[in-house]
Structure 1
C-alpha cells in the first residue's frame, strides 16, 4: 500500500476505488496499513477509500493539537473537492473525526468511530514511553489487542522507533495531552450526524463503557460489539468489522 501514496502539496494520501469517499483517519501509533482489510473491501463496493497521512509529527509543537489535525482534514477535503464524505476513525483518528464533524458538519454525511478517544483514554496512563526498552514496548503493543499475536514485529518496531525519536516522543505526549484536554462530552449531544460505533468488547485502551457513553451522548448513533477484540477491531476482525459497517451503511442508505 505504501508505494501507492500520492504526494500533492502538503498532502500525502492513499486513494482506491470510485464512489462516495470514505476518509479513514489513523491513530497515534497506527499506520495506513492497519486499514488494509477495510480499504480492499470497500474500494470494490462502490466507495472511494481515501487515507490521508495526518501531520502528527510535522507541525510545530504549539500547533500539535487535535483541533489543528481536524482543520488539516478540512483543508484536505476542500483540496480534494469532495461534496460529502464518510469519516472512519480509529483511536485518535476517531477523535479527529468527531471534532472535525463538530467544527465542519456540512460535508460529513456519516461518521464511524472505533476505539475512539474523545471521552476517555488510558493510552499514556502509566509512564508509557520507556525509551530503549524494547520488551516493554512489545508488551504495551500487545496489550492493545485481544490476541497479542496481532502485534507483529513490524508494528512493535514502528512504535519502538517512534518513542525513541525525541521529536516524535515530544509530539506524541503533546497529542496525548491535547486529546485529554479536548473532551467532547458536552459537544456530542449537539452533533446529529449519523454515527456508527464499532467497539471491541475487550478494549483496554478505551474500555466498553466509553462506547456506551458515546452511544448515549450522540443523538443519532448505532452501537455494534465485536467479541474477543481489543482496541483496533478493523485489524483483529476485519471481516466482521467490514460486514457490520456495510450492513450499517446499507441500512442508512449510504
Structure 2
C-alpha cells in the first residue's frame, strides 16, 4: 500500500496483536467503511496483494492484522490460545480502538471461518463480508475431495513428535525445494496464472510460523461448529469460489450460499483455491460491485 501505519493492540491476556492500516486514526470518518483482510491457514497478507493494491488505489481504508501466534503478533509460545473465539475477540478489540464501525471483511480459506465466527459473535459489528474458498465442514473430511488429510494427519503429527529436528528442518526449508514448490503450485493454484516465485514467498512465510501451528489450526477447523449458526448470520455476503479448486471442492461454496440467507454466489471459471490471485481483475471488480451495492 502507498502508506502503511503499523501498531499493536494488547488483548486482555497480554497477547500483542500486530496490525497496520493505510490511514491514520484521525483520518477515519464516522461510520466510514474499512476493508479488513482475514488470511487462511498458514497463509499471510500476500494472498491479498492484488486486492490491497486495487482498493488502496481506489481510496478505500484498509486494515491488515496478524492472528495471535502468527508473524508479528505474539503468542508463538501459547499456540493453544490461537482459537477462532480468541482471534475474533482480538480483531474486535482492534476495531474498537480504531473506532471502525463498518468493517467489510474479506476472508480466504480459514479466513472464512474467522469471518463467520466474527459475524456470529458480533453480528452488529460487521457490515459486509466476502468469503473466498472456505469450508464449514471439517477440512480433514473434504480437502482434495477425499479424507486423505484425515488419514495422513496422525502420521504427520507422530513424525513431528518423534523426529522433531527433521520435521523442523523440512518446515523451515521446504520453500527451497523446487519439487515441493511444484506440488504446492499444482495442488492449490492455477498454474497458467501463478508463478513459482509467488509460491516460494508463500512457503518461506510458512517457515516463519511455529511448526505446530498447522496441526493446531486444522483441529480448530475440524471442531468449528459454525454450520448450525449460518441461518442466523444476516450479514450481506458475497461468496467466491473457483470451479477448479482442488483443495476445497466447489460444492462447499454452494452449501454456504444455501444456508447464508443474505448471500450472493460468484464462481470463477478455471479458478483454483486462490481465485483472487489467479484472476485478480475479475475478483476485484466483483468485490467492488458488491461493496458499492446498497
TM-score (norm: length of structure 1) = 0.87
1:40 aligned residue: 53
What do residues 108-144 of structure 1 show as CA deviations (whole Å, max 9, x unaligned)?
0111100113334327816376942633454034311
Unpaired stretches in structure 2, ≥5 consecutive residues: 10-15, 160-166
Equivalents in 1 of 2:2, 2:111: separation in Å? 19
Larger Rg: 2
1:162 aligned residue (206, 217, 223): 206
Alpha carbons 2:184, 2:199 under 8 Å: kept = no
- Are the structure 2 counterparts of residues 107 and 13 from structure 1 closer, same or farther at C-alpha, using a change threshold of 3 Å? same
SS at match of 1:150: coil
2:107 aligned residue (71, 89, 96): 89
Please state if 1:200 is matched with 2:242.
Answer: yes
Aligned pairs for 1:26-105 within 5 A? 26-57=39-70, 58-59=74-75, 60-105=78-123
Deviation at 1:161, TM superposition (A): 6.4
Aligned length: 250
Q: After TM superposition, which residue ranges in structure 1, 4 or more long, deviate above 3 angstroms?
A: 1-5, 126-131, 160-163
What do residues 60-107 of structure 1 show as CA deviations (whole Å, max 9, x unaligned)?
132122222121111111121112211110011111011011001111
- Are the structure 2 counterparts of residues 137 and 201 from structure 1 closer, same or farther at C-alpha, using a change threshold of 3 Å? same
Deviation at 1:44, TM superposition (A): 3.3
SS at match of 2:228: coil
Equivalents in 1 of 2:198, 2:93: separation in Å? 31
The CA RMSD over aligned residues, in Å, is 2.7
Please state if 1:219 is matched with 2:261.
Answer: yes
Deviation at 1:239, TM superposition (A): 0.3
What do residues 163-222 of structure 1 show as CA deviations (whole Å, max 9, x unaligned)?
6x7x72212110111011003211101111111101111111211100000000101100
2:277 aligned residue (230, 235, 244): 235
Alpha carbons 1:34, 1:235 under 8 Å: kept = yes
**Range that drifts further, 65-74 or 212-221:** 65-74
Equivalents in 2 of 1:217, 1:117: separation in Å? 12
Deviation at 1:3, TM superposition (A): 9.3
